[in-house]
């Protein structure tokens, strides 16, 4: 494959029904380059959770996807409020999502745990009042 492929997505923070469009687009691209089905599925799920988080908590953000021969790196960067307690946020069932989001079936406190579950490596860098950057790697 040679050079890395890089894709950028701007995530709008005001339309919950559009969350998932970037993940769908990436999924189609991975299909086109012939990535393994399981890798595609894990990538799509992890990125969708990230997208949803950006819409719910951060008013949107930017996603950069870097695909090399043996790895997919997804960097989700937002300028949201930041995560006060990352360890707590990683606990299954812990959620700070508002009621209207829960009414749609989200906000069960599974987003970050799902992202960790479906990726080979995940790192969260967050500063209160500045924003959050989540970096995920999925090995091919």
Partner 1 sequence: MTVQTLIESGLFKAEVPGSTSRSISKVFCCDLLSIAMGKAPENGAWVTVMGNKNTLAVASLADISCIVLAEGIRFQDEELECARKEQIAVFSTELPVFDAGLKIQELLS
Tell whether residue 7 is a contact of partner 1 (CB under 8 A): no
Kindly tell me which of 1 and 29 has the beta carbon lying closer to partner 1.
Answer: 29
| Lookup: tokens for 48 | 């969708």
Tell whether residue 119 is a contact of partner 1 (CB under 8 A): no
- The residue within the footprint of partner 1, chosen from 41, 131, 133, 140 (CB under 8 A), is 41
Helix-strand-coil percent breakdown of the chain, rounded to 5? Answer: 40, 30, 35
Nearest 5°: the CA angle 76, 89, 72 is 30
Applying CB under 8 A, which part among 21-29, 58-66, 73-81, 127-135 lies near partner 1?
21-29
* Pairwise CA distance, residues 26 & 13, whole Å: 19
* Pairwise CA distance, residues 97 & 16, whole Å: 13
Q: Kindly identify the residues of this chain, within the stretch 67-106, that bind partner 1 according to CB under 8 A.
A: 104-106
Tell whether residue 64 is a contact of partner 1 (CB under 8 A): no
Kindly tell me which of 53 and 132 has the beta carbon lying closer to partner 1.
Answer: 53
Q: Which is nearest to 138 in space by CA: 49, 1, 44?
A: 44
- The residue within the footprint of partner 1, chosen from 2, 14, 17, 32 (CB under 8 A), is 17
- The residue within the footprint of partner 1, chosen from 30, 111, 124, 138 (CB under 8 A), is 111
C-alpha count within 13 angstroms, C-beta hemisphere, residue 65: 22
Binding interface with partner 1 (CB under 8 A): 16-17, 19-20, 23-24, 27, 37, 41, 44-45, 48-49, 104-111, 113-114, 117-118
């Amino acid at each position: 494959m040679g050079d890395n492929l890089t894709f950028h997505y701007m995530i709008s923070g005001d339309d919950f029904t559009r969350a998932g469009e970037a993940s769908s687009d990436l999924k189609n691209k991975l299909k086109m380059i012939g990535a393994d089905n399981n890798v595609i599925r894990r990538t799509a799920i992890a990125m969708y959770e990230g997208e949803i988080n950006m819409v719910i908590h951060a008013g949107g953000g930017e996603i950069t996807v870097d695909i090399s021969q043996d790895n997919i790196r997804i960097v989700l960067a937002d300028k949201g409020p930041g995560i006060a307690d990352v360890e707590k946020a990683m606990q299954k069932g812990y959620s700070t999502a508002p009621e209207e989001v829960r009414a749609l079936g989200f906000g069960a406190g599974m987003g970050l745990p799902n992202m960790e579950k479906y990726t080979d490596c995940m790192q969260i860098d967050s500063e209160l009042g500045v924003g959050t950057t989540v970096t995920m790697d999925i090995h091919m």
